[in-house]
Amino acid sequence: MKVAIVLGSKSDMMVAEKCKAVLDEFSIEYTLRIASAHRTPETVIEIARMNYDVYIAIAGLSAALPGVIAAHTVSPVIGVPVSGKLNLDSILSMVQMPGGVPVATVGLDRGDNAALLALSILSLKDEKVRKQIIDYRKKMNLKVKEDDNEINR
Amino acid sequence: MKVAIVLGSKSDMMVAEKCKAVLDEFSIEYTLRIASAHRTPETVIEIARMNYDVYIAIAGLSAALPGVIAAHTVSPVIGVPVSGKLNLDSILSMVQMPGGVPVATVGLDRGDNAALLALSILSLKDEKVRKQIIDYRKKMNLKVKEDDNEINR
Amino acid sequence: MKVAIVLGSKSDMMVAEKCKAVLDEFSIEYTLRIASAHRTPETVIEIARMNYDVYIAIAGLSAALPGVIAAHTVSPVIGVPVSGKLNLDSILSMVQMPGGVPVATVGLDRGDNAALLALSILSLKDEKVRKQIIDYRKKMNLKVKEDDNEINR
Amino acid sequence: MKVAIVLGSKSDMMVAEKCKAVLDEFSIEYTLRIASAHRTPETVIEIARMNYDVYIAIAGLSAALPGVIAAHTVSPVIGVPVSGKLNLDSILSMVQMPGGVPVATVGLDRGDNAALLALSILSLKDEKVRKQIIDYRKKMNLKVKEDDNEINR
Amino acid sequence: MKVAIVLGSKSDMMVAEKCKAVLDEFSIEYTLRIASAHRTPETVIEIARMNYDVYIAIAGLSAALPGVIAAHTVSPVIGVPVSGKLNLDSILSMVQMPGGVPVATVGLDRGDNAALLALSILSLKDEKVRKQIIDYRKKMNLKVKEDDNEINR
Amino acid sequence: MKVAIVLGSKSDMMVAEKCKAVLDEFSIEYTLRIASAHRTPETVIEIARMNYDVYIAIAGLSAALPGVIAAHTVSPVIGVPVSGKLNLDSILSMVQMPGGVPVATVGLDRGDNAALLALSILSLKDEKVRKQIIDYRKKMNLKVKEDDNEINR
Amino acid sequence: MKVAIVLGSKSDMMVAEKCKAVLDEFSIEYTLRIASAHRTPETVIEIARMNYDVYIAIAGLSAALPGVIAAHTVSPVIGVPVSGKLNLDSILSMVQMPGGVPVATVGLDRGDNAALLALSILSLKDEKVRKQIIDYRKKMNLKVKEDDNEINR
Amino acid sequence: MKVAIVLGSKSDMMVAEKCKAVLDEFSIEYTLRIASAHRTPETVIEIARMNYDVYIAIAGLSAALPGVIAAHTVSPVIGVPVSGKLNLDSILSMVQMPGGVPVATVGLDRGDNAALLALSILSLKDEKVRKQIIDYRKKMNLKVKEDDNEINR
């Protein structure tokens, strides 16, 4: 399987669902795991060492999860900050990685964009996925145009 | 060529240099372009449509550049927010992309991490790059260990 | 028609309604469009090139819409940041435009003020609109004075 | 004269200079005034009642100046927040105007963009100014393209 | 009458109620007015020139009200920032006054503390008020001690 | 003596100097003390119990000083937040006092405004001070008008 | 008794409950007190001087409580910032203590983590508590693993 | 040895020096290590498993270090956020730990307070350290009083 979705906690499931929905639509296999950088660090390391093609790490608060995964794999790691009372905490914890170990951060609660970024990465070696993204974009483009037409009817 | 580095302005060159240094060390070819989402939008679109394997977009302030590139390509786009008087402006402009068009945001002024993320993406279809990253990581790991030894001498 | 109201997404309609209400009260014709800087960029450029007298661009998150419109027209562009989980993201994305391409940013969700600013701009060449604004201000002034009287009864 | 530039304090002169440079380049007449919403409020009201075509108000900290001008004129008022120890204070004081009295806020210290926005507003009734902006944009566009060429030589 | 409570808008009434409750408890006469720095500026100036002993100005968003009152009176002016979508906007607009014209800012929505601060100021020339504050504090002190006892029963 | 200026640390002296300069200009006697809510809390309480007419408390970081003084006196307490690496820390620590114990917060590093607010409070029972403030304001008003004239020469 | 839990106000009880639940699970005796740095400062000092082994201080807004306790004891003081309209106020008021008087700040509303930190401190001289924490961690670790298994069933 | 000081990077040495100075003054043995949660994670885990009595972890940016140490030890872990371009990143990354794994966060760059907190923790089982802290506090108290006397001479 190509993509690992890792959740810091069961409570992040709603964000993961958006991620799964996109990957399912593209018929891309993925593993879904719950593993916490602070509560089950050995599981996080174990998953990171499996060297999936792409990692999507979803976490809130002091969101160390994507960074810890990135420390144990050279595969690209995408971080999805989860919203809470502050929001800036999870965003900055993911974006502000030190030199040498990047995390590709997407928007707050954006499980969908994490999946699309993963697909975009996979498309570099899989022309079929590339075409699927182009189709997805076209549908999205049409949907906005329909909305545009609708309000002008 | 595989990687396009796009700068929103000549004044972002210092961040681009960190990016170039890493790509040069890995002997990865890249194109360096200055193109502004607001001053030369047609150039931005033109570059985006060339479908490089990976885009690295460096911009400050209301950093629309990576988002506009992402709107015109399905290749992965990495955004590097450039520091200024506020810092949160460029970070949030890049991270908070709407659903459907992701930008992979790295840390403030982190041209180095943008390059490493690009390499990590390229490594999925190029085993040699993967090995180079592993070596890079080892050197980095050794450097920290030497620092650790040095202060304990 | 003189004014174009452009929404980044159908979900921004509630802010657009405040805008429409004011323009309707002034009997000013306007076009209402949904166009996204990231999902239908070609529509955005097309609308921008129509050179309406004034543009009102309504968008949330990484609100690139007014900036991208401003890049393709020399008419004044008013940006209305839409509230969300962070709020500072849409405000700063609009306010912090680089040199050369200004966006006139109004307050969070202030579709009403965007319309009034558009009218104020149009009033420079249309004395009737100027008088309408003066009347509008008087009514507003009276309304506050009535509120003032009411609580002192 | 068509444009009034109002500074909240002599110390905001550096931001006003950027504004003057653009207006001078376009040969647009302007009045430059120092008037404080808190120290010389009667002067502010007096200037506001002169009904210039466009107002540019430059102020830092709790930047009430553009809002107070806007309260006494129906002409468009552009606010330029001046940087300081916090930056968010002057930006939010200008952007977050209550319903009924808009201020067109541009970026931190962006005297240049305030001038360009003023010109864009004036261009609605002065075709010559419109052409000048188009030329200005072309030069700006060429400058970025030259920068782009230069780094690729 | 000694105290003027000025609200920027009828919608700030809930914060004013907390203010009134304290002044009523102390049997201090006050005037309650609705006056907006941007919609009825002439009323604001008129009230400011009446030179009440103390002003309490309640406002949200770009809360210019206390500053504009302070510009037209030498009596002490207390500002109460009202909560909204951002909160920092009203706080910083009140706190960050320029040199020469202070506003005494209290906490977000703290109509009660504004009244107590006003009473504390009046107590300097009215020993009776001073004694009332001491009694108020004692009751408050006792209330906390009762809460403390209660949870330990 | 009527006014007590209390500094949380010797390093806040530069802000206190602005305060002293104003009080000296008005020939108002004051006591200058260094006392820390965390390092010499007994001194803080001792000074608070002396019941000066007005307290000015200057502190940075987690600026508990004005609040602790306010807890031990019913006289008005003015807080001056001192700038540092964050700035929001000292501002919010002072502004956001709980119900019952207000602190009158002025702007970051605004020792001058703290003194003027203290004088404004004292003016309620001392007509001479009131006249001095009116004169001070006039001079300030003239100074801005001179600046205004100067740039138009 | 070893641990004192001090609440700035009865309204912070919900955060204290999380704290109590953990201490009860570990069968650690504690005292629960309501005492306010601003309303009952003498009670705060009295409790601080009792020199409990560890203090847990729970407070919102301008959360001076843990700092004032720390000023009167040399025992470790843990601060729990309580959420409200701003959140950054209570966090920064606790974290940003001046040199010499530290407060050990935990996350927003994290009564549970405050208790666990207190236990971790007590474990240094009580091997039994150390074992209990290890067991607690194991249970937590197992719980996450069960969640992980469950979503993969 | 009782205390481990762990630096995320050699560049954090200046903050560590403040920490060392206090521990040296108290004649407390400590180990100084450089170990990065992202570059040498295995060293971090190794150090965490040595179960020092107290850990002091110093890190900037996305400061995962104290959290990762806390995940592998039940000893108390103190986090010192290091200042940078944002400051809120390192503070929030440390403070906002998830339930179950607390980090005791002190102020930005406050190596001194981290050491004092560590000593305060050690003092629970070492009466000598307790007395040393009391002496340290007295000296600090005297120093402030001398400063107080000096400015009043």
ipTM for this model: 0.97
Interface test with F, best of D34, D46, D65, D86 (most F CBs within 10 A): D34
CA–CA separation, F7 and F58 (whole Å): 5
Q: Is B101 on the interface with C (CB under 8 A)?
A: yes
- Is a pLDDT exceeding 70 seen at residue D55? yes
CA–CA separation, C90 and C86 (whole Å): 8
In chain H the first and final C-alpha atoms are separated, in Å, by 46
pLDDT at B1 (0 to 100): 64
Searching chain F, which residue's CA lies closest to the CA of residue E134?
F74
Calculate the CA E93 to chain-centre distance: 15
Interface test with F, best of H151, H152, H153 (most F CBs within 10 A): H151
Amino acid at D1: M
- Is a pLDDT exceeding 90 seen at residue D153? no
pLDDT per position as a tens digit, H110-141: 999 999 999 999 999 999 999 999 999 999 99
For residue E80, report the phi and psi dihedrals to the nearest 5 degrees.
-115, 105
CA–CA separation, A74 and G40 (whole Å): 56
CA angle A90, D105, C41 (to 5 degrees): 65
The number of residues making up chain G comes to 153
pLDDT per position as a tens digit, H60-84: 999 999 999 999 999 999 999 999 9
For residue E69, report the phi and psi dihedrals to the nearest 5 degrees.
-60, -50
What single string gives the DSSP state of each residue in H39-91? TSHHHHHHHHHT--SEEEEEE-SS--HHHHHHHT-SS-EEEEEPP-SSSHHHH
Token pair listed for G2: 């070893």
Token pair listed for B134: 């592993």
Does A100 sit within 8 Å of B116, measured CB to CB?
Answer: yes
CA distances from F108 to D77, E60, F112 (A): 28, 20, 11
Residue range A86-97: mean pLDDT, rounded: 98
Token pair listed for B57: 């977009």
In chain G the first and final C-alpha atoms are separated, in Å, by 46
Interface test with A, best of C30, C34, C42 (most A CBs within 10 A): C34
pLDDT at A114 (0 to 100): 98
Contacts of E116 (CB under 8 A, 6+ apart): E22, E133, E136, F100, F101, F102
For residue A79, report the phi and psi dihedrals to the nearest 5 degrees.
-110, 135
pLDDT per position as a tens digit, D124-138: 999 999 999 999 999
Searching chain H, which residue's CA lies closest to the CA of residue B83?
H85
Searching chain G, which residue's CA lies closest to the CA of residue H96?
G107
pLDDT at D1 (0 to 100): 64
Q: Is F64 on the interface with H (CB under 8 A)?
A: no
Residue H152: which pLDDT band, with cuts at 50, 70 and 90?
Answer: confident
CA–CA separation, D57 and D79 (whole Å): 5
Is the distance from CB of C81 to CB of C8 less than 8 angstroms?
no
If DSSP codes are grouped into helix, strand and coil, which group holds residue B29?
coil
Q: Which of A88, A137, A147 sits opposite C10 (nearest CB)?
A: A147
Residue G153: which pLDDT band, with cuts at 50, 70 and 90?
Answer: confident
Q: Is D83 on the interface with F (CB under 8 A)?
A: no
Does C144 sit within 8 Å of E35, measured CB to CB?
Answer: yes
CA–CA separation, F78 and F58 (whole Å): 9
User: Which chain C residues are within 8 Å of A140, Cβ to Cβ?
Assistant: 39
pLDDT per position as a tens digit, E31-85: 999 999 999 999 999 999 999 999 999 999 999 999 999 999 999 999 999 999 9
User: Which chain F residues are within 8 Å of E96, Cβ to Cβ?
Assistant: 107-108
Q: Which of C49, C52, C57, C46 is nearest to C19 (CA)?
A: C57
Interface test with F, best of E23, E53, E56, E74 (most F CBs within 10 A): E74
Q: Which of E13, E39, E86 sits opposite C141 (nearest CB)?
A: E39
For residue B130, report the phi and psi dihedrals to the nearest 5 degrees.
-55, -45
Q: Which of C40, C85, C86 sits opposite A144 (nearest CB)?
A: C40
Is the distance from CB of B112 to CB of B22 less than 8 angstroms?
yes
If phi over 0 gives left and psi between -120 and 50 gives alpha, with beta otherwise, what is residue B9?
beta
Pairing relationship of beta strands A30-34 and B30-34 according to DSSP bridges:
unpaired
CA–CA separation, D94 and E102 (whole Å): 19
D10 burial (CB, 10 Å; 0-12 / 13-18 / 19+) is middle
Shortest alpha-carbon distance between residue D150 and chain B (Å): 9
Neighbours of chain B (3+ CB pairs under 8 A): A, C, D, H
103-142 in chain H: CB under 8 A from chain B:
none
pLDDT per position as a tens digit, F56-115: 999 999 999 999 999 999 999 999 999 999 999 999 999 999 999 999 999 999 999 999
Residue range H33-47: mean pLDDT, rounded: 97
Torsion of CA D53, D58, D59, D60, to 10 degrees: 140
